[in-house]
Amino acid sequence: MIDYQLLEALFAVVAEKGFEKAAKRLFLTQSAVSRRIHHLESLLGEPVLIRTKPPKPTELGTKLLVHLQQVQQLELSLNLKGSDFHYDNRQPITVKLAANADSLATWLPEALTAPQESFEYNYRFEILTEDQSVGLKRMKAGEVMVCICSNASPVNGSLAYELGALRYQAICSPSFIKRYDITSPHQLADLPCLVFDEHDKLQHEFLAQLSDSVPRYTHICPSPEGFKQAMLAGLGYGLLPILQLGDSVEKGELVNLMPDYHLDTPLYWHCWEAESPPLKALRTHAVKVAAKRLIKIP
* 166 phi and psi angles, rounded to 5 deg: -80, 125
* 42 phi and psi angles, rounded to 5 deg: -65, -40
The total of other beta-carbon atoms located within 10 Å of residue 51's CB is 9
Over residues 133-143, the mean pLDDT reads 84
Residue 203 in this model has a pLDDT that exceeds 60: yes
Over residues 279-284, the mean pLDDT reads 90
Per-residue pLDDT, 91: 67
Per-residue pLDDT, 187: 95
Collect all residues with Cβ–Cβ distance below 8 Å to 59 and sequence separation of at least 6. none
Residue 298 — pLDDT band, cuts 50, 70, 90?
confident
Per-residue pLDDT, 117: 61
* pLDDT, tens digit, 9 for 90 and up, residues 239-249: 999 999 999 99
Q: For the ranges 45-59, 157-171, 182-196, 216-230, which has the lowest average pLDDT?
A: 45-59
CB-count burial class (<10 Å; 0-12, 13-18, 19+) for 146: buried
As a whole number of angstroms, the distance between CA 53 and CA 182 comes to 52
The total of other beta-carbon atoms located within 10 Å of residue 296's CB is 10
Per-residue pLDDT, 119: 64
Over residues 167-196, the mean pLDDT reads 96
- Assign 13 to helix, strand or coil: helix
Collect all residues with Cβ–Cβ distance below 8 Å to 133 and sequence separation of at least 6. 149, 150, 151, 199, 201
Residue 173 — pLDDT band, cuts 50, 70, 90?
very high
As a whole number of angstroms, the distance between CA 137 and CA 98 comes to 10
Query: What residues are paired with 71 via a beta bridge?
Result: none
* pLDDT, tens digit, 9 for 90 and up, residues 29-81: 999 999 999 999 988 889 999 999 899 999 888 888 888 877 777 776 666 55
pTM: 0.79
- Assign 202 to helix, strand or coil: helix
Residue 83 — pLDDT band, cuts 50, 70, 90?
very low
Residue 286 — pLDDT band, cuts 50, 70, 90?
very high
Residue 85 in this model has a pLDDT that exceeds 50: no
* pLDDT, tens digit, 9 for 90 and up, residues 242-271: 999 999 999 999 999 999 999 999 999 999
Residue 109 in this model has a pLDDT that exceeds 90: yes
Over residues 97-110, the mean pLDDT reads 96
Residue 84 in this model has a pLDDT that exceeds 50: no
Q: Where do the DSSP E strands lie in 62-156?
A: 93-99, 123-129, 146-149
Task: With CA atoms as reference, report the closest residue to 47 among 32, 62, 26, 28.
Answer: 62
As a whole number of angstroms, the distance between CA 66 and CA 297 comes to 31
As a whole number of angstroms, the distance between CA 97 and CA 95 comes to 6
As a whole number of angstroms, the distance between CA 27 and CA 121 comes to 23
As a whole number of angstroms, the distance between CA 132 and CA 69 comes to 24
Q: Alpha carbon 39 to chain centroid distance?
A: 33
CA Rg value for the chain: 23
Collect all residues with Cβ–Cβ distance below 8 Å to 292 and sequence separation of at least 6. none
Which long-range contacts link 2-8 to residues 24+ away (Cβ below 8 Å)? 2/40, 2/43, 2/64, 4/68, 4/71, 4/85, 4/86, 5/36, 6/36, 6/37, 6/39, 6/40, 6/43, 7/40, 7/64, 7/65, 7/67, 7/68, 7/86, 8/68, 8/86
Over residues 159-174, the mean pLDDT reads 97
Residue 148 in this model has a pLDDT that exceeds 60: yes
User: Of residues 5 and 117, which shows the higher confidence score?
Assistant: 5
Task: With CA atoms as reference, report the closest residue to 138 among 125, 123, 124, 155.
Answer: 155
Structural domains present in the chain: 1-85 (1.10.10.10), 166-264 (3.40.190.10)
